[in-house]
Structure 1
Amino acid sequence: MTDADTTAFTIRPLDPTTWDAFAALCDRHAGGGFGGCYCTWFHGEKHSAPDSRPERPAGSTKELKHDLVLAGDAHAALVFDGDLAVGWAQFGSPEELPGIRHRKEYLETTTSLPDYRITCVFVDRQYRGRGVGRLAIAGALDLIAAAGGGVVEGYPRDDDKRVAPSFLYSMTRRVFEDAGFDYDRPKGTVNCVMRTTVAAR
């Protein structure tokens, strides 16, 4: 599929009207990665995958995400092929998404927190390699601009080595560079912090 083919896709925000499509995408992938987290992993300071916290049993992450969406406390740019959601880029403030990986190292090396962070990019297995992840990031930046803009961080892999999709919760540094992000510093052994500033729209 060429880049020109991505014009068939549309971007919609994650909200109560798109919840069913988002949930269906997760359901097709056993909860959407990270052991079935339904993209709740980064919402808590401690990781929120099933069974990782005693008060959150396996199978409850879908309900948790639904509650967050209904409350307006979960944000993502969803990529649609017709009525089918085929990918997303999760974004939110550090308060909404505090549980990034390598959090201790990150806080020790930061001079200021961003206004927003893009924490997770996920693509339906049938649509990988077709530019959906790039569209999702662009969609997230557009939604951030509509919300007032600000400093945005991403945490991609700092190389282009092929990685199993189950371990790649974001994209690569090159993808974020193409989206207008600048390298800031390393984070962990294979990821990095990248930043861009989005003007209000």
Structure 2
Amino acid sequence: MGESAKTEETAALSVRALDDETWPAFARLVEANNGVWGGCWCVGFHVKLGKGRTAAENRAEKEQRVHEGRTHAALVFSDDECLGWCQFGSPEELPEVKSRRLYEKGLVTLPDWRITCFFTGKGLRGRGVANAALGGALAKIARLGGGTVEGYPEETDDRKVSGSFLHTGPMVAFENHGFTRTRPISPHRWVVTRTVAPA
């Protein structure tokens, strides 16, 4: 694919909020990808996922949160097809962070917002979905009042990394959007931060 075709394809992406209207497209993408990360349905940062918890329970939890306005995500669309997303929310909405012990050890103050996870559907990678989703999430955060935003991306360091390890996002995407590294919380994962002005 030539550079102009890549640009055209990226330009055709749009970002919408996860809400009652976009829930069916989101659900179709999750169902087409086996519930995402073993049936998580993108609730793993909302609640602790115990061994007995089923994919059906996770789906019901996510749908209820959508209907109640207690979950946020920037969904990336090509026409009416949802290709992927970036989840964001307040620490109260998304209390379950990875590497909690190291995270809390270096914690000075909680952020206003967390960007916790990314997902791009199978066969849809390489189209700029994560980048569009992150940009969309930051725009939505600005409209919601802005503030300090944290992310927890994986640094690949030229390592070949499975997509499942990149569910918190690749470092390059965050750095391209103006985040700076604050502190490491695992050998290859960092807390990154930036301030978003209100729109």
User: Identical aligned pairs, as a percentage?
Assistant: 45
Question: 1:52-109: CA deviations, max 9, x gaps?
Answer: 254x334211111000111111100000011000010000001100101011221111
The residue aligned with 1:42 is: 45
TM-score by length of 2: 0.93
Aligned mates of 1:149, 1:116 — CA distance in 2: 8
The residue aligned with 1:187 is: 185
What is the DSSP-based 3-state SS (H/G/I as helix, E as strand, rest coil) of the residue aligned with 1:141?
Answer: helix
Aligned mates of 1:162, 1:108 — CA distance in 2: 29
The residue aligned with 2:108 is: 111
Aligned mates of 1:4, 1:93 — CA distance in 2: 34
- Structure 1 unaligned residues grouped into runs of 5+: none
Q: Which letter does structure 2 place at the counterpart of 1:147?
A: L
Aligned mates of 1:164, 1:199 — CA distance in 2: 34
Aligned mates of 1:3, 1:61 — CA distance in 2: 36
1:165 corresponds, among 163, 166, 173, to 163
TM-score by length of 1: 0.92
The residue aligned with 1:133 is: 130
The residue aligned with 1:176 is: 174
Shift, 1:166, TM fit: 2.6
Bigger CA drift: 6-15 or 102-111? 102-111
What is the DSSP-based 3-state SS (H/G/I as helix, E as strand, rest coil) of the residue aligned with 1:59?
Answer: helix
Aligned mates of 2:7, 2:103 — CA distance in 1: 34
Aligned mates of 1:191, 1:4 — CA distance in 2: 32
Aligned mates of 2:118, 2:7 — CA distance in 1: 18
Any conservation in 2 of the 1:15–1:72 contact (CA below 8 Å)?
yes
Any conservation in 1 of the 2:41–2:55 contact (CA below 8 Å)?
no
Aligned mates of 1:139, 1:3 — CA distance in 2: 17
Paired residue total: 194
- Structure 2 unaligned residues grouped into runs of 5+: none
The residue aligned with 1:24 is: 28
Root mean square deviation, CA, Å:
1.3
Shift, 1:167, TM fit: 2.8
What is the DSSP-based 3-state SS (H/G/I as helix, E as strand, rest coil) of the residue aligned with 2:104?
Answer: helix
Aligned mates of 1:74, 1:15 — CA distance in 2: 9
Aligned mates of 1:102, 1:81 — CA distance in 2: 34
Shift, 1:187, TM fit: 1.0
2:93 corresponds, among 82, 92, 96, to 96
Bigger CA drift: 165-174 or 96-105? 165-174
Aligned mates of 1:82, 1:29 — CA distance in 2: 19
Alignment of 1:46-61 (within 5 A): 46=48, 48=49, 52-54=50-52, 56-61=53-58
